[in-house]
Structure 1
Amino acid sequence: MPFTKSVRNKKIEQGRTMDIEEIKQATSVLSVWAHIATVGADNEPDVVPVHPCWEGEILWIMVGLNSTKCRNVSANPRVALHWQVTENGDGVEVWGTAEVLSDIETKRRLWNGVFDYDLTGFAPGGPENSPDTAFMKVTVNRAIAMKMYGVGGFERFTRA
């Protein structure tokens, strides 16, 4: 698997196919932070930092319903995320399809146990009393893990 301490200095296999579990592991080694790119109805791109968390094969991001991210995804569900690179330039980028869910059942389910930080810091009312809070669900369609900005090799994931 890429980026673990045991293989940090080894060249990864150029173009090898990865599975989603390897992508998840690679993102967890890099950073809790990623940048999400969205495109709005005006065809203007927007890139902002987020703290995504995995639940199975799905990435979840806590969002404000009135945020640019949500407006953009309602116009164009295609997104990309790029995790902060290491000092050696190791990184992961994923592409997927996003949708915003604000129903109370989803909020309750995700509020405890999926995210690795306290969501009440951003939505003190909890899942029941935070009407402007939602969750963005990202289904990852493809990904690439790179060593040294790709010079040291890359590995790919593509959803079948």
Structure 2
Amino acid sequence: MNLNVSVSSPPVIKVSDQDVGVTISIDLIVDVLEAGEVIPVACISVDISASCDAEIVRNSLTGRLKLKKFSTDLKWSKIGKLHMSVIQSLSPTALKTVLIPYLNSQLKRGIPLPILNGFTLENARIFYTPPWIAVCSDVTFLGDYYFRHHLAYVS
């Protein structure tokens, strides 16, 4: 069995006063392998709405993801009716208890920002000003100690 995931329309991104919201529509196509041939047997349409609030901690972008809405619908099936009510009831629970906490743990660690060696961000803030997001920060030069300490490993 194979699961193909494709975005069925461009994501809709909205900036509010407190966070960034995204709505995305995905098609999940279930394929099976029969006699060496891949056969698509069903397509499930998934609509997901979530929001994320972000902040800059040290030199990393961190954040927290929140699931707002999740729905599924059977687009087509070559294997008869699927019990979509079971999928619709289990999927949000799996997302809320497994996937969203995992993604939040990764976001909590932070995504390193591309900062030049020897510099660091200070007093960095993210401002949500719909429809824009502004990032403001002071940049600090770490000084000669940084370069003497780190360049010793290069030579």
- Name the TM-score, length of structure 2 as normaliser: 0.25
Greater RCO (Cα-Cα under 8 Å, separation 6 or more): 1
Larger radius of gyration: 2
- Name the TM-score, length of structure 1 as normaliser: 0.25
